[in-house]
C-alpha cells in the first residue's frame, strides 16, 4: 500500500521549480530553529491575560482563546502514528514538542512579569492583535459597547474575591472588607472610602489610616479606580466602603449622556455581602471581579499605570517642594491622567514619608488646557491651589468652592476650547498666571507646581511650550509619547538642554475603548458645572436634579442708575450691535471681574490720542473759548478716567444697542480681549433672556454669591464675555428629558402597585388623569426652539426632517481643524 501511494504521488505532474521548493521546505522543517514561526502557524502562543487571575476559582478570560490553525493534509499525517523507520517525521515531531515547551516557559515568565506590574499598554496591544475595534489614539471617537463582540466583555478587574472571612461587617449601605497585600478591588459607582488599617493606593494616592473619608467617583465613562493594598497589618488592610448620595446620578434624568454610567443591579459579590438585608437593598456601588459581572454589559477596564509611569512619578515626588514639572504631549496621550495621578501622589496625606518630608503647603496646579480642564469648565485657563487628592473624572469636580480641599487662585476666560483662536491672548493669560504662582510662593514656599499643557504641540503651540520651558524655571519636563514626532521632540530637547532641565519621555497610554467623545465629555462637564453647588455646612458638593429652566435666575440691570455690568464683549468675530441680543440669548458667557480701566486693551491708547488731538485744537483756538462745546465735555470726562480721580469705568468703547445693551466694542473688526493683568474670570453663566422692558439680563450661574459680592466690594466691574464655546444644547433638552423621566417613574410605580396588589393606592391616584398631565408636560417640553423630537425614526421621516433642515437657518460655532462641532437637533 505504501508503494502504491508513493507511485500515485509521483505520478502527478510537478514542475522543477515546485519540486525544488518542496525539497527546500522539507530541509527547513528538519533543521528548523526553535524560534522559527513558519514551522507551524497553529503553535502561536495563547493570550497572556488568563495568567493574571490565577487566584480566581473559575475561568474569567474568554477574550482571545488559544488559536487553532487549519488542518492540512500534512497535519493529518502528523497526527497519525508515524510508521517505523520514518526518521524525518519523528524529528519534526520532536522539534515541535520542544518549541511548544519553550513557548510555554516563555509565556509563564512573561505572565509573571505582567502580574507584578499590571501593564495596561500590553492589553491594548494584545487587543489590536486580536482584531478588536480599538480607538486608541483617537479619544474623540464614539463606540457603543453593543457594536463589539460579546466575548470582549469578559475582562479581569479585581485580583481578589470577597469571602465570608474577608467581610468585617456589612449592611444595606456599608461594606467593610479586608484586602490582602498586593491584591486589589475594583468598584463601579460612587462611594465614601475610609481606611481603617494598613495602607492602600487609589488613583496614585497612598492613603494611610486616619479619620478622613474620601469621596470616590467611578463611572463607566473612564477607567475604573483600583483599590490596592500596599502594606497591611498581618498582611491585610481594612477599608470601609459606604454608599453616598451626591445627586450626581440624578443627572441621568436630564441628559442621556449620564445614563448607564453608574452601577446596575447587584452583582454576585453584592449579593454575598447583602445577605440578611432586604431584597430590594441596593448600594451606590458594586464590586466587580470581571467585566462580565456588570449587569449593564459595558466595556469596563481597570485603571493600571505603565511601569515607566510609576517610576517617573516616584522620581518626581522625591523633589519635594522644588518640583516644577511641565506635562506635555500629543492629543489623547494620557497627559490629564498622568497629571491627575501625579497630583494625588504628591498630595498623599502620609504622616511620615521615607525622606521625612510632609507636604503642608499643598500643590499648585496650572491648567493650560481650555478644552479639557480638570477643575473648571471649558474655555478657561487657571491656577489652582489644592490641598487634598481628588478621586474621579473632571465632571465629578467641575469647580473648586471649598477652601478646605482647594481653590482657584486666578482664572482667565479664553472663550474657546483651543488656544489656536487667539494665541496672543493665550500667551498673556499664561504670563499672568505665572506671576500669580510666584506670588503664591511667597506665602507657601514649599508648594510644588504641576503644569498641564494642552495637545496643541505643533506650530505656535510648540513655540509656547519651548518658551515655558525656558522662562518658567522648571525642574522637569515630561513628554507623553515615545513615537515622536522628531520635529516636536527635537525643539523640546533643545529648549530643555538650554534651560538645564531633564526631559523624560514616557509611553502614551490611551484608553482602548471610549463610550463618550470629547465633545460629549465637555457637555457632561459643563452641565455638571451648572447643576453643582457647595453648601457651607457640607464637605462634599451636591448636584441639583431640577432643570435650569425651573431654577430662579439672577436678574442683573444692564442700564440705568443700578447698572450691574460694565459691558458685553464678543470674541472671535465682529457682531453688529443690532444682532447682539440674538447672539447673547441662550449663550454661555464668562463672568469676568475688571479690576481697573486698563484691562480694556486699546482704550488707554485711544484716550491718549484723543487728548492729543484736543490739546492741539486748544492751542490753535486759544482765544475762542466755548464752555458748551460737547468736545470739551468729553475731554473732561476722559481726563477724569485717565487720571483716576473717579472710579467710573464708562469708556468710549461702549456702544448702546437699540435695546440699550452696553456693547463693549474695542478693537478693529472684533472685540479685543481683556488684559489678563487687570481681570479675573469668576466663572460661567447662561444667558436665559434679555428683558428689554425692565432692562435686565436673566442669568443662570453657579458662581457663589459671596464671590460676586466680594468683587463688587473691591470696586471691580463685571463684564460678560461671549466666546466660541459649544452651544448649550443640553440646557434646551433638560425639561424634555425630565418630563419623560417623570412619566417613566410614574408608570413603574403603577406597575409595582398592581404587582403588589395595592389596588386602593391605584384608585386614589387616578392614573389616567395623571398620565395625561405628564404627557401634556412632555408635549410642551418638546415644542421648544432649536429642538425637534422624532418619535418615528423611519426612513420617510428622516428624509422629511432632512428637507426641513435645508430650509432652516442655523448658527454654528466657528470650527478649527480637528475640532468637533456639535450639530443642532
**Phi (first) and psi of residue 288, to 5 degrees:** -120, 130
- CA 512 vs. chain centroid, Å, equals 15
Give the pLDDT confidence score for residue 64 in this predicted structure: 35
If you classify domain 154-293 with CATH, what class do you get?
mainly beta
pTM for the model stands at 0.74
For residues 6 and 89, which has the higher predicted lDDT (pLDDT)?
89
Give the pLDDT confidence score for residue 765 in this predicted structure: 61
**The two domains 154-293 and 309-511 share their CATH topology (first three levels equal):** no
**Burial (CB count <10 Å: 0-12, 13-18, 19+), residue 77:** exposed
Calculate mean pLDDT across residues 188-203: 95
Give the pLDDT confidence score for residue 99 in this predicted structure: 54
Q: How many CA atoms lie within 13 A of 471 on its CB side?
A: 12
Give the pLDDT confidence score for residue 70 in this predicted structure: 40
Our CA angle for 178, 295, 756, nearest 5°, is 105
Look at residues 153, 146, 139 and name the one whose alpha carbon lies nearest to residue 61: 153
Write out pLDDT tens, residues 653-665: 788 899 999 998 8
Q: Which of 433-437, 520-524, 631-635 has the lowest mean pLDDT?
A: 631-635
- Indicate the CATH number for domain 309-511: 3.40.50.300
Write out pLDDT tens, residues 336-381: 999 999 999 999 866 554 445 566 789 999 999 999 899 999 999 9
Write out pLDDT tens, residues 606-644: 344 334 444 544 544 444 444 433 333 333 323 322 333
Domains of the chain, residue spans: 24-66+94-129, 154-293, 309-511
Indicate the average pLDDT of the chain. Answer: 76
Distance CA 387, CA 406 (A): 6
Q: Which three cell numbers stand for residue 600?
A: 480694556
Write out pLDDT tens, residues 486-501: 889 999 999 999 999 9
Q: 85: left (phi > 0), else alpha (psi -120 to 50), else beta?
A: left
Distance CA 394, CA 336 (A): 10
Per-residue pLDDT band at 512 (split at 50, 70, 90): low
**Burial (CB count <10 Å: 0-12, 13-18, 19+), residue 667:** middle
Distance CA 329, CA 482 (A): 10
Amino acid at each position: 500500500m505504501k508503494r502504491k501511494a508513493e507511485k500515485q504521488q509521483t505520478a502527478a505532474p510537478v514542475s522543477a521549480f515546485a519540486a525544488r521548493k518542496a525539497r527546500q521546505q522539507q530541509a527547513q522543517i528538519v533543521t528548523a530553529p526553535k524560534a522559527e514561526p513558519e514551522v507551524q502557524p497553529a503553535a502561536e502562543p495563547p493570550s497572556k491575560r488568563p495568567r493574571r487571575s490565577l487566584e480566581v476559582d473559575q475561568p474569567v478570560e474568554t477574550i482571545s482563546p488559544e488559536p487553532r490553525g487549519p488542518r492540512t493534509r500534512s497535519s493529518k499525517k502528523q497526527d497519525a502514528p508515524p510508521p517505523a523507520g520514518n526518521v524525518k517525521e519523528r524529528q519534526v515531531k520532536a522539534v515541535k514538542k520542544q518549541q511548544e515547551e519553550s513557548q510555554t516557559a516563555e509565556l509563564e515568565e512573561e505572565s509573571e512579569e505582567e502580574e507584578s506590574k499590571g501593564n495596561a499598554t500590553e492589553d491594548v496591544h494584545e487587543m489590536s492583535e486580536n482584531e478588536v475595534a480599538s480607538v486608541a489614539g483617537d479619544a474623540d471617537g464614539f463606540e457603543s459597547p453593543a457594536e463589539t463582540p460579546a466575548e470582549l466583555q469578559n475582562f479581569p478587574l479585581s485580583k481578589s474575591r470577597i469571602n465570608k472571612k474577608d467581610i468585617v461587617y456589612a449592611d444595606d449601605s456599608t461594606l467593610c472588607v479586608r484586602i490582602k497585600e498586593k491584591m486589589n478591588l475594583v468598584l463601579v459607582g460612587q462611594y465614601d472610602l475610609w481606611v481603617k488599617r494598613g495602607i492602600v493606593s487609589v488613583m496614585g494616592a497612598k492613603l494611610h489610616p486616619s479619620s478622613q473619608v474620601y469621596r470616590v467617583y467611578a463611572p463607566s465613562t473612564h477607567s475604573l479606580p483600583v483599590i490596592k493594598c500596599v502594606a497591611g497589618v498581618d498582611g491585610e488592610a481594612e477599608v470601609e466602603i459606604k454608599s453616598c448620595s451626591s445627586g450626581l446620578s440624578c443627572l441621568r434624568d436630564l441628559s442621556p449622556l449620564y445614563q448607564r454610567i453608574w452601577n446596575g443591579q447587584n452583582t454576585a459579590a453584592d449579593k454575598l455581602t447583602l445577605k440578611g438585608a432586604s431584597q430590594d437593598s441596593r448600594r451606590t456601588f458594586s464590586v466587580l471581579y470581571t467585566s462580565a459581572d456588570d449587569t449593564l454589559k459595558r466595556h469596563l477596564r481597570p485603571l493600571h499605570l505603565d511601569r515607566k509611569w510609576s517610576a517617573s512619578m516616584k522620581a518626581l515626588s522625591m523633589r519635594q517642594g522644588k518640583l516644577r514639572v511641565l506635562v506635555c504631549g500629543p492629543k489623547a496621550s494620557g497627559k490629564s491622567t498622568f497629571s491627575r495621578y501625579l497630583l494625588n501622589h504628591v498630595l498623599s496625606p502620609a504622616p511620615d514619608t521615607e525622606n521625612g518630608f510632609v507636604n503642608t503647603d499643598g500643590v499648585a496646579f496650572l491648567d493650560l488646557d481650555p478644552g479639557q480642564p480638570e477643575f473648571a469648565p471649558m474655555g478657561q485657563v487657571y491656577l489652582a491651589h489644592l490641598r487634598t487628592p481628588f478621586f474621579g473624572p473632571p465632571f465629578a469636580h467641575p469647580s473648586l468652592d471649598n477652601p478646605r480641599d482647594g481653590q482657584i487662585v486666578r482664572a482667565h476666560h479664553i472663550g474657546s476650547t483651543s488656544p489656536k483662536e487667539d494665541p496672543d491672548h493665550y500667551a498673556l493669560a499664561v504670563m499672568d498666571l505665572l506671576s500669580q504662582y510666584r506670588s503664591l510662593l511667597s506665602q507657601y514656599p514649599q508648594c510644588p507646581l504641576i503644569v498641564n499643557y494642552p495637545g496643541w504641540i505643533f506650530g505656535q503651540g510648540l513655540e509656547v511650550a519651548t518658551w515655558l520651558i525656558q522662562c518658567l524655571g522648571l525642574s522637569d519636563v515630561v513628554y507623553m509619547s515615545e513615537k515622536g514626532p522628531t520635529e516636536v521632540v527635537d525643539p523640546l530637547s533643545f529648549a530643555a538642554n538650554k534651560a538645564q532641565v531633564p526631559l523624560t519621555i514616557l509611553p502614551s497610554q490611551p484608553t482602548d475603548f471610549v463610550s463618550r467623545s470629547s465633545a460629549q465629555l465637555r457637555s457632561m462637564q459643563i452641565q455638571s458645572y451648572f447643576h453643582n453647588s457647595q453648601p457651607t455646612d457640607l464637605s462634599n458638593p451636591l448636584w441639583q436634579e431640577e432643570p435650569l429652566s425651573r431654577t430662579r435666575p439672577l436678574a442683573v440691570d444692564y442700564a440705568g442708575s443700578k447698572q450691574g455690568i460694565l459691558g458685553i464683549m464678543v470674541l472671535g468675530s465682529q457682531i453688529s450691535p443690532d444682532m447682539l441680543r440674538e447672539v447673547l440669548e441662550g449663550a454661555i458667557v464668562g463672568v469676568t471681574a475688571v479690576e481697573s480701566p486698563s484691562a480694556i486693551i486699546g482704550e488707554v491708547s485711544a484716550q491718549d490720542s484723543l487728548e492729543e488731538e484736543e490739546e492741539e485744537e486748544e492751542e490753535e483756538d486759544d482765544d475762542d473759548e466755548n464752555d458748551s462745546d460737547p468736545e470739551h465735555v468729553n475731554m473732561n470726562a476722559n481726563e477724569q478716567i485717565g487720571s483716576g480721580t473717579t472710579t467710573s469705568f464708562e469708556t468710549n468703547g461702549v456702544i448702546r444697542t437699540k435695546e440699550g445693551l452696553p456693547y463693549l466694542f474695542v478693537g478693529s473688526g472684533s472685540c479685543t480681549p481683556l488684559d489678563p493683568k487687570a481681570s479675573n474670570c469668576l466663572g460661567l453663566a447662561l444667558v436665559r433672556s434679555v428683558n428689554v422692558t425692565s432692562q435686565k439680563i436673566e442669568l443662570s450661574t453657579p458662581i457663589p454669591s459671596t464671590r460676586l459680592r466680594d468683587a463688587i466690594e473691591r470696586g471691580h466691574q463685571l463684564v460678560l464675555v461671549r466666546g466660541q464655546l459649544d452651544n448649550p444644547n443640553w440646557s434646551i433638552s433638560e425639561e424634555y428629558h425630565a418630563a419623560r423621566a417623570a412619566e417613566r417613574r410614574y408608570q413603574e410605580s403603577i406597575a409595582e402597585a398592581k404587582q403588589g396588589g395595592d389596588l386602593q393606592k391605584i384608585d386614589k391616584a387616578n392614573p389616567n388623569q395623571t398620565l395625561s398631565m405628564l404627557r401634556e408636560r412632555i408635549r410642551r417640553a418638546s415644542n421648544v426652539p432649536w429642538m425637534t423630537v422624532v418619535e418615528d425614526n423611519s426612513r420617510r421621516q428622516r428624509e422629511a426632517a432632512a428637507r426641513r433642515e435645508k430650509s432652516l437657518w442655523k448658527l454654528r460655532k466657528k470650527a478649527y481643524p480637528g475640532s468637533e462641532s456639535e450639530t443642532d437637533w
